[in-house]
Structure 1
Amino acid sequence: MKKLMLLGIMMFSGVVFAQEKDHKYEVVDNNVKATYFYENGAVKQEGFYKDGKVHGKWVAYDVNGNKQSLGEYNNGVKTGKWFFWTDNNLSEVDYSDSRVASVKSWKQDALANRN
């Protein structure tokens, strides 16, 4: 389970820093809000940049609009609790200085209400 979780985290991190052709940037309160899209137009990720670094809340969605992950950056560093949804699991990863401090996982009967 930990290997799967770490793989998911690494994939998410790679997507955050990957350059996408389908994106939109807008200035919001001295930050840049970034929105990345799937080919079908659905939102893939949303988050903010401050001084060129990821900063604030970031959310990733699957192609159907279901949340895949939710977390926060502080000047490019993952901080606090991040949540990752998979088929029938919810995992909570606690970060300290972009390092995994702890991982908790729960099985859920249905994740239909994760939006």
Structure 2
Amino acid sequence: MKTILKIAVLLFCVTSFAQEQKVDYKKVTNNLVKATYYFADNSDLIEREGYFDADGKLHGNWISYDLEGNKTSIANYTNGKKEGVWTYFKEDKVSLVTYKENKIIKVEEKALVIN
């Protein structure tokens, strides 16, 4: 009986906290599909968006946002591999991480000055 009760409580907790994330897919070309992911608790706000290639691998720019709609990161992929400069935005700084074939080549941090 205790086991059944534990399973029932566990299933209730999992279903209570599990939220369905809305995702929109739009074919852009024969080789690219744009994916837009929305925050699970607010299906109108975009969490991240980017592209998949014909093989289903991440490709091109991927942009992530916070709940206020501000960019938190800009990432670049080539056929599923991290490539080029990735930008991470924080309150007081911008971090730039350069990748080549999925490996970090360079990391820079710059102070964010707002007048």
Same structural fold, with TM-score higher than 0.5 when normalized by the shorter chain: yes
Alignment-mate amino acid for residue 22 of structure 1? K
- What residue ranges of structure 1 are gaps of 5+ in the alignment? 1-19, 111-115
Q: With structure 2 as the length reference, what TM-score do the two structures score?
A: 0.75
Partner secondary structure for residue 68 of structure 2:
coil
Q: With structure 1 as the length reference, what TM-score do the two structures score?
A: 0.75
Alignment-mate amino acid for residue 44 of structure 1? E
Deviations 1:62-109 (A, max 9, x none): 111100111210000010111000111101100011111110001113
2:33 corresponds in structure 1 to 32
Q: Which runs of 4+ in 1 moved over 3 A?
A: none
- What residue ranges of structure 2 are gaps of 5+ in the alignment? 1-19
Q: Which structure: larger Rg? A: 2
Alignment-mate amino acid for residue 112 of structure 2? Q
CA distance in 2, matches of 1:102, 1:58: 20
Q: Is 1:47 paired with 2:32?
A: no
Percent same amino acid among aligned pairs?
A: 37
Q: CA RMSD in A?
A: 1.5
